[in-house]
Amino acid sequence: MRKRDMDILYSLEKFKCLERDQIAALHFSNNKNPIVSVNRVLKRLRMDGYVLVNTGRSFKPYIYFYNPSPIKLDSQKIDHYLMIAQGYIDMSKYSKVEGYKIEPKIEHADFIPDVACNWLGNEWFLEFQNSTYTVKQLYAKLDKIKEYHDKGYWNNQRVLIIGKTNLKLDAENYPFKVKQIRGIEDLSESIQQFKEMKYQEFKGKIKGENKASVSKPDAISDGYKSKDGAIKFVL
């Protein structure tokens, strides 16, 4: 089996399921005709019995699963897992994502995030919402995260809620950074500002000059220096 075949199967196992276009974005982005290439490879993997497919969604690309599939091919959580996979794809467009763990068990915690990962120099808990949380559900989830924080195990993680937003959320009620966004692209301006700060930091070190003070950008996020001197991205 080719390495790319194995990489595709690993992605299907990791993300539970993927649309054809997501597989193309993950593994065929450098091809001249990604869709043509991915269709050919997926057809072969399907015929060889390595992947399963859901073809029942009208006017949408097929959804592919590892064989044996970790979820039912008609699972109600399919859209949720597709959203989680898209989050990884979108984040990777801006910077490398490390340790993208889906529904991990967090030691000493009474909650399971949709994703825990490292991105742009910080640790993140990600929550993906393709339907709006009720106020009760939202606060119940965040209160469990606060309990974990108050136990003293917090490692300066950022909580990012992606998708449907609840306008009644008051982020100031929590002792950790929490933000709601419709999609990762909502952070594009702030990420660009963060990268510019890192670039200026790098230039200062190369030239051996004292770092000039940088005014904080008027946006939803900026950078700060951790104890090791590295600039990190914060909400």
Q: Kindly report, residue by residue over 117-172, the tens digit of the pLDDT.
A: 999 999 999 999 887 666 788 888 899 999 999 999 999 999 999 998 777 788 88
pLDDT of residue 232: 65
* Pair 210, 222 in one domain: yes
pLDDT at 208: 63
Quick one: tokens of 52? 């399963």
pLDDT at 86: 97
Average pLDDT score over residue span 87-92: 97
Q: Are both 156 and 229 inside the same structural domain?
A: no
Q: Which pLDDT score, from 0 to 100, does residue 130 have?
A: 83
Q: What is the pLDDT of residue 200?
A: 76
- Tell whether 124 and 162 lie within a shared domain: yes
Together in a domain, 22 and 107 = no
Number of domains in the chain: 3
Pair (88, 175) in one structural domain: yes
- Give me the mean pLDDT over the 11-24 stretch: 97
pLDDT band for 209, please (50, 70, 90 cuts). Answer: low
At residue 228 the predicted structure's pLDDT band, cuts being 50, 70 and 90, is low
Residues 102 and 17 in one domain: no
- On whether both 169 and 107 belong to a single domain, the answer is yes
Question: For the ranges 96-100, 119-123, 156-160, 194-198, which has the lowest average pLDDT?
Answer: 194-198
What Rg value do the Cα atoms of the chain yield, rounded? Answer: 20
Contact 186, 169 (CB under 8 A): no
- List the structure tokens of 235: 């909400």
pLDDT at 203: 67
Residue 220: pLDDT above 90?
no
Q: What is the pTM of this model?
A: 0.85
| Mean pLDDT rounded to a whole number for the chain | 86
Q: Any idea what the CATH number is for the domain that residue 15 is in?
A: 1.10.10.10
Expressed as residue numbers, the domain containing 176 is: 84-187
Please report the pLDDT score of residue 19 as a whole number: 97
By the 8 A CB rule, do 84 and 102 touch?
yes
- Dist. CA 124–CA 117, nearest whole Å: 5
- Res 215: pLDDT: 46
pLDDT digits (tens, 9 = 90+) for 43-74: 999 999 999 999 988 778 899 999 999 999 99
Which pLDDT value is given to residue 222?
43
Which residues does 235 contact at the CB level (< 8 Å), separation at least 6? 158, 160, 177, 178, 179, 220, 221
